Structure 1
Amino acid sequence: MFDMSLLGDALLGRLSFRPGAAPDKPALPAGRHHLGIAQERDAVLIVPENLPAGGPVPLLVMFHGAGGSADKVLPFVIEHARQRGFLLLLPQSQFPTWDLVIGGNGPDLERLEQALRELASRFFVDPAHLGFAGFSDGGSYALSAGVTNGDVASHVMVFSGGFMSVFQQNGSPRLFIAHGLEDEQLPIETSARPHVAKLKAAGYDVTAVEFKGPHHIAPPVVALAMDFFLPRVLT
């Protein structure tokens, strides 16, 4: 049997970043920021005004779909970040879609690592609420990276993802997998349902949501995912 460890952690999709370290730079003010890790398609960080004071901060990492960008998925999650008080990190693939979809872990994983480290240098990230989420190819990326790095991601939320590419399973993230019954691009029978079955058989805590609709992001389903990740505090 081939020893997968010979490939190296990065090729296997492993992040060396770990949350929980004390920041050593000033926190960024509320608003939209570029993290400065790339000249083009830089990672975007949304800092809401109502972050928890004096304690760890929840973080959601949202991956866009093929041919997309941070701005394509931002409208679906930004109000949840503001209402629930979590940091929102939106990486952007270097190519039209994520490296893992094209041919394997590479520059996008490296840029994700850099973005997480830069963010964590300014905010104390809550290890119990660090979520990976994504739509379509971004959902596949979130699921693959989240299961591979379940000792980093506490929650994984997949919206109409197509595949799961995992060479190593680490940790035990909670999983939310949503898919449309009329998905014309990534049929539920060959994507979400077999993924859910395999993950449940492997012992993961999986919440599966099947909704009436095509291949798209459904705001009511996103709301369910945000309740799964970080329930809103009623005042």
Structure 2
Amino acid sequence: MVEPAPPHRQPEENPRHGRLTARPAAPTALAAAGLAPLTDAHGAPLAMVYAPEPLDGPPYTLVLLLHGAGGSARQGLDLLLPIADAHRLLLVAPQAASSSWDLIVEGFGVDVRRIDGLLATAFAGYPVARVAFGGFSDGASYALTLGLTNGDLVDAVVAFSPGFAAPLVTHGRPRVYVSHGVDDPVLPVDVCSRRLVPRLRALGHDVTYDEFAGPHEVPSDVRARAAAWLAR
């Protein structure tokens, strides 16, 4: 399910390979705390952002959260919103340009560029110490793929009920948390996480695997365990 890729960056690597260029830096001007939607010039949704108070506190852990197929930025944000304040998580939840993420629809492209721009905006507006990616279903598959591709940026990946990971290139070895319901009818655990997790471990990733009795969902106790794992 996850194939090894060249460990060193090649000159031709770019957004078509899932590579991101944004990196944390000292904020140029502090943005606002709280919940805020981001839209393009035509008012179309780009993302939802949530920043806990206070802005001048310790640097945040930024978590990029990716919704499932047919979902919304708000659904991505809600994956960790209930515990964001307790763990000082700066949440950035993009809206996919299509019904699902570009890799799944037609290959890396518009969503990679959108995510890169959103991360650059977040780094310019908030103090960030660490970066993690997370998602549910198709969003989990995309978070894993982008996280493995950009392990020189991403410290950790939280994948709720993923189907696969398909990096074209890999960098670093981010730690990984995977949860999956044993009764999942959408992405069956036997052909998804139970195959994916051993492959990730074989590639040298530190993987925490959390199976639970349930369908295609993110139970509150799983969310709490994922947040505690992120805070390690």
TM-score, normalised to structure 2, is 0.90
Q: 1:41 deviation in Å?
A: 2.1
Which ranges of structure 1 fall in alignment gaps of 5 or more residues? none
Structure 1: distance between partners of 2:18 and 2:197: 21
Q: 1:222 deviation in Å?
A: 1.0
Structure 2: distance between partners of 1:35 and 1:41: 6
CA deviations on 1:173-207 (whole Å, 9 max, x unpaired) are 11001111011111111111111111101111000
The number of equivalent residue pairs is 224
Report the aligned-residue RMSD: 1.9
CA deviations on 1:3-37 (whole Å, 9 max, x unpaired) are 99575421111111122x11112x12222123445
**One-letter code of the match for 1:147?**
L
Q: Corresponding residue for 1:227?
A: 228
Structure 1: distance between partners of 2:44 and 2:35: 16
**Alignment pair present for 1:10 and 2:11:** no
> Does the CA-based 8 Å contact 2:157-2:176 persist in structure 1?
yes
1:88 to 80, 87, 91: 91
Structure 2: distance between partners of 1:113 and 1:75: 21
**Alignment pair present for 1:65 and 2:84:** no
2:51 to 47, 50, 54: 47
Structure 2: distance between partners of 1:43 and 1:192: 28
What percent of counterpart residues are identical?
A: 38
Q: 1:142 deviation in Å?
A: 0.5
3-state SS of 1:198 partner: helix
Q: 1:56 deviation in Å?
A: 2.6
1:74 to 61, 74, 77: 77
Structure 2: distance between partners of 1:121 and 1:37: 18
> Does the CA-based 8 Å contact 1:45-1:90 persist in structure 2?
yes
**Alignment pair present for 1:210 and 2:211:** yes
> Does the CA-based 8 Å contact 1:148-1:169 persist in structure 2?
yes
> Does the CA-based 8 Å contact 1:77-1:222 persist in structure 2?
yes
3-state SS of 2:99 partner: coil
Larger mean CA deviation between 33-42 and 193-202 belongs to 33-42
Relative to 1, partners in 2 of residues 1:50 and 1:81: Cα closer, same or farther, differing over 3 Å? farther
Structure 1: distance between partners of 2:79 and 2:147: 20
Q: Corresponding residue for 1:104?
A: 107
3-state SS of 1:189 partner: coil
Q: Give the 5 Å matches for 1:22-33.
A: 22-25=26-29, 27-33=30-36
Structure 2: distance between partners of 1:220 and 1:195: 22
Structure 2: distance between partners of 1:114 and 1:159: 24
TM-score, normalised to structure 1, is 0.89
**Alignment pair present for 1:201 and 2:202:** yes
> Does the CA-based 8 Å contact 1:35-1:115 persist in structure 2?
no
Q: Corresponding residue for 2:185?
A: 184
> Does the CA-based 8 Å contact 1:41-1:93 persist in structure 2?
no
Higher relative contact order (CA 8 A, sep 6+): 2
Which ranges of structure 2 fall in alignment gaps of 5 or more residues? 1-5
3-state SS of 1:60 partner: strand
